[in-house]
Structure 1
């Protein structure tokens, strides 16, 4: 490794014999190297790469696609097959088509194979398989299952025992690579070699050296097949003839034909909901070939945005990874000044109050520390009308104009409760804008009351509801939502509520909570979905991004950084070319970062809230449960902009002097 490297690069190796022709040169010492070779199942290697415990190595082809924004491919390396592969087998008691509704056991050691089985079952045979992780003994379908999906060495050994009469033959045997080839005419790629993007950026010379070691080891394996077979025999106790035939079915390159097969697999994975969008393969520059697939540099992408062009998901992803933060901020700020020229001299804010009317909820989101289950008498609550009125009176006393009522999905509350609440607030405080109830709350009301979403919105509007907040969005990709909030609205249901609201004449806002385990590509998908609905309805007033705080939740994920927040604010402004305003959220980021965000594409400081209970329930030491009106004025003034109070419709209420001492208008 080059001088100054502080640790040996950590290289992954597949524990199965399928990667021995690539790894044998390193394992035997025939190819000298300074790498630390760590072996594991495909799932284990995926997890180690994700956790930063490996720097380079093979990962499942589907897992790469789901995390490709954090990874770079290494060229000409894969585990693929252009023919029956023998190590990805489905043993079944019944024909393939009769597996509909039947239980299929899987040992859980792979990532790509279950997705392949889902695609073949759904697209070719018209059903979704019921796959469950279970303990599987070689040669025996578990008693409670109708089939077993077996991969790697276990599949080879099971197949060998059947052929030699050592175990009973199941009624049916399906080689999934053969099934795929017969259906699509394409080869199948099971695993690809990757490097963590951050490691490549920090130590590109080391990556080039390790890649050369892998390439030499692969060449050594091709030239020394007897030695590779000896290692494989020791590992599996299978005859050399079986192993030789197996290795002949595998391909360890990544040529255009293999890439075509891989992209077709990803296309079906998108259709099945396994991927949010087709990934853009990017290769690390280790052998002199171009590093990026997208033509043109970062500067040309920024110029495209500044010239009024709409950025693609791939361009947004590339800007996130490659653009200099200050260049990104400068471009976003320039666009903001084009959309909101008055923000060159002023920054707006709204004096509002957040009121959580109930914390009782049955949605059980993993990221939430606020909710309490029905029946919790000690900490669960439902605010009375008088309690809510008192809070609104305190808001009006300081010149507030907007109330944000949000709460849990309380199973005891239907449309009658919400109509009475909205009507009571509107009747008593007609001057206050009721900006309340997230899309997931509206969906819950409709479900509880057995009404359509449209009926709920029209009744609430008639009672006095003025607009909807964008809460409940988190990440609008169902792969992520199934992981963190499986009982909440899907992305399609979320947008259905906002579309219905816009059609009913109710404006709304849009949001993102990032840092929930999503990829950067999925963040871009989230932004693009908002952009597409805005093209249709024009109903979104503003976009508000903020980061996830994991303390006291079921998701102990790492904290996001301030630079990441500024990057997301800037990208939001660049991607959302049809949403007029971007707000600087201070709840999770803090006032100082919100000040900076006003120079990175945001034009608005958001609401002071007066109180914030949901995010602050995490107990994080860096959260802010509220800022005062005076603090908001001071913080904006410190940026050199004029503090300007607005209402929900972005109409000016008051303008304060930059010294925040007096009202100017």
Structure 2
């Protein structure tokens, strides 16, 4: 019988799970490591059975996906890896041009929600190639959004003439809630046909994060050696990111989807369909 195909984000924010996959690989499934955008596409095209996806991707495909319980990528306040760099204070931005990286769907929506709901601004958003060394590839742009390693790099290498805003902190100040950036999902048809396999993989991922976090110092030393950050910086970042999905996180996710729907960033308000192996999904 064919093994399930499972996606994995090989980024810093999943380092504990990467450590477990490296040290204790499972023979229960085929593992596919890729960037979030490719994983998002692969599971919506039925090339993967289970995968992490950007939170907004679930909202756009909730009719054929289910959320795995107890695991997500979230932070309660600063996230460090989603940073807006601006030539002016954020509250002065109105219809200015903001450059967006093509790498992330959820961060785009989160920024648009913050700018509209908190600052009542309607910026002109444009996808562009930006880098920490050249944050404004379009000289007419007022601000640029960075994610991932680039954002983390900017946290520690700031230009005193620019303004830097952690978008996770902006969400926390606006809503007083945490923010869920990614969830693990299973294709609904796969879950219905393979509830026990789905449950085993969910438990492996949940335990994998716990095991990797228990061995975090070793994981940083062994796996993150190619990153341009100190051990202390990585350790701080990986104590800010959390991997749980409980009532508080679901409440935050629902509000994020509510705002996204109000701004026409998604076509419908999604139901939060949580996989449960003991009930008919």
Q: TM range, normalised to the smaller chain? A: over 0.9
Question: What's the offset of the Cα at 1:223?
Answer: 1.3
User: In the aligned structure 2, how far is the partner of 1:231 from the partner of 1:64?
Assistant: 33
Question: What's the offset of the Cα at 1:235?
Answer: 4.1
* Corresponding residue of 1:146: 142
1:530-556 per-residue CA deviation (whole Å, 9 max, x = no partner) reads xxxxxxxxxxxxxxxxxxxxxxxxxxx
User: In the aligned structure 1, how far is the partner of 2:14 from the partner of 2:44?
Assistant: 20
User: In the aligned structure 2, how far is the partner of 1:237 from the partner of 1:15?
Assistant: 16
* Corresponding residue of 1:155: 151
The two structures have a TM-score, normalised by structure 2, of: 0.93
User: In the aligned structure 1, how far is the partner of 2:44 from the partner of 2:160?
Assistant: 39
User: In the aligned structure 1, how far is the partner of 2:186 from the partner of 2:153?
Assistant: 32
Aligned residues: 279
Question: What's the offset of the Cα at 1:140?
Answer: 2.5
User: In the aligned structure 2, how far is the partner of 1:14 from the partner of 1:191?
Assistant: 10
User: In the aligned structure 1, how far is the partner of 2:30 from the partner of 2:146?
Assistant: 29
Question: What's the offset of the Cα at 1:181?
Answer: 0.4
* Corresponding residue of 1:135: 129
User: In the aligned structure 2, how far is the partner of 1:71 from the partner of 1:132?
Assistant: 30
Question: What's the offset of the Cα at 1:232?
Answer: 4.9
Q: 1:21 aligns with which of 16, 23, 26?
A: 16
Q: 1:281 aligns with which of 269, 272, 276?
A: 272
> Does the C-alpha gap of structure 1 residues 78 and 235 become closer, same or farther in structure 2, counting only changes over 3 Å?
farther
Q: 1:110 aligns with which of 101, 104, 107?
A: 104
2:267 alignment partner, SS class: coil
User: In the aligned structure 2, how far is the partner of 1:105 from the partner of 1:183?
Assistant: 22
- 1:253 is aligned to 2:249: no
Alignment of 1:454-493 (within 5 A): none
* Corresponding residue of 1:239: 230
Is the Cα contact below 8 Å between 1:31 and 1:216 reproduced in 2? Answer: no
User: In the aligned structure 1, how far is the partner of 2:86 from the partner of 2:119?
Assistant: 15
User: In the aligned structure 2, how far is the partner of 1:232 from the partner of 1:88?
Assistant: 22
* Corresponding residue of 2:187: 196
Alignment of 1:170-569 (within 5 A): 170-286=161-277, 288=278, 290=279
* Corresponding residue of 1:447: none
1:148 alignment partner, SS class: strand
Is the Cα contact below 8 Å between 1:72 and 1:283 reproduced in 2? Answer: yes
User: In the aligned structure 1, how far is the partner of 2:222 from the partner of 2:181?
Assistant: 22
Question: Aligned-residue CA RMSD in angstroms?
Answer: 1.7
Is the Cα contact below 8 Å between 2:217 and 2:235 reproduced in 1? Answer: no
Question: Structure 1: where are the runs of 5+ without partners?
Answer: 163-167, 293-665
Question: What's the offset of the Cα at 1:279?
Answer: 1.4
> Does the C-alpha gap of structure 1 residues 278 and 241 become closer, same or farther in structure 2, counting only changes over 3 Å?
same
Question: What's the offset of the Cα at 1:170?
Answer: 4.9
1:208 alignment partner, SS class: helix
* Corresponding residue of 1:78: 72
The two structures have a TM-score, normalised by structure 1, of: 0.41
Question: What's the offset of the Cα at 1:159?
Answer: 1.8
2:191 alignment partner, SS class: helix
User: In the aligned structure 2, how far is the partner of 1:98 from the partner of 1:263?
Assistant: 29
> Does the C-alpha gap of structure 1 residues 35 and 138 become closer, same or farther in structure 2, counting only changes over 3 Å?
farther
* Corresponding residue of 1:54: 48
Return structure 1 stretches of 4+ with deviation > 3 angstroms: 31-34
**Structure with greater strand percent:** 2
User: In the aligned structure 2, how far is the partner of 1:109 from the partner of 1:29?
Assistant: 29
User: In the aligned structure 1, how far is the partner of 2:80 from the partner of 2:4?
Assistant: 33
Question: What's the offset of the Cα at 1:210?
Answer: 1.6
User: In the aligned structure 1, how far is the partner of 2:280 from the partner of 2:167?
Assistant: 33
Question: What's the offset of the Cα at 1:31?
Answer: 4.6
User: In the aligned structure 2, how far is the partner of 1:44 from the partner of 1:169?
Assistant: 36
User: In the aligned structure 2, how far is the partner of 1:94 from the partner of 1:36?
Assistant: 47
The structure whose RCO (Cα within 8 Å, separation 6+) is larger is 2
Q: 1:122 aligns with which of 104, 109, 116?
A: 116
Considering only CA atoms, is the larger Rg found in Structure 1 or Structure 2? 1
- 1:30 is aligned to 2:24: yes
User: In the aligned structure 1, how far is the partner of 2:207 from the partner of 2:246?
Assistant: 18
Is the Cα contact below 8 Å between 2:83 and 2:151 reproduced in 1? Answer: yes
2:26 alignment partner, SS class: coil
Question: What's the offset of the Cα at 1:169?
Answer: 4.1
Is the Cα contact below 8 Å between 1:92 and 1:170 reproduced in 2? Answer: no
2:31 alignment partner, SS class: strand
2:177 alignment partner, SS class: coil
1:251 alignment partner, SS class: coil
User: In the aligned structure 1, how far is the partner of 2:154 from the partner of 2:39?
Assistant: 24
User: In the aligned structure 1, how far is the partner of 2:55 from the partner of 2:46?
Assistant: 18
Question: What's the offset of the Cα at 1:231?
Answer: 4.3
User: In the aligned structure 2, how far is the partner of 1:179 from the partner of 1:121?
Assistant: 10
User: In the aligned structure 2, how far is the partner of 1:86 from the partner of 1:177?
Assistant: 8
Alignment of 1:602-617 (within 5 A): none
Is the Cα contact below 8 Å between 2:15 and 2:219 reproduced in 1? Answer: yes
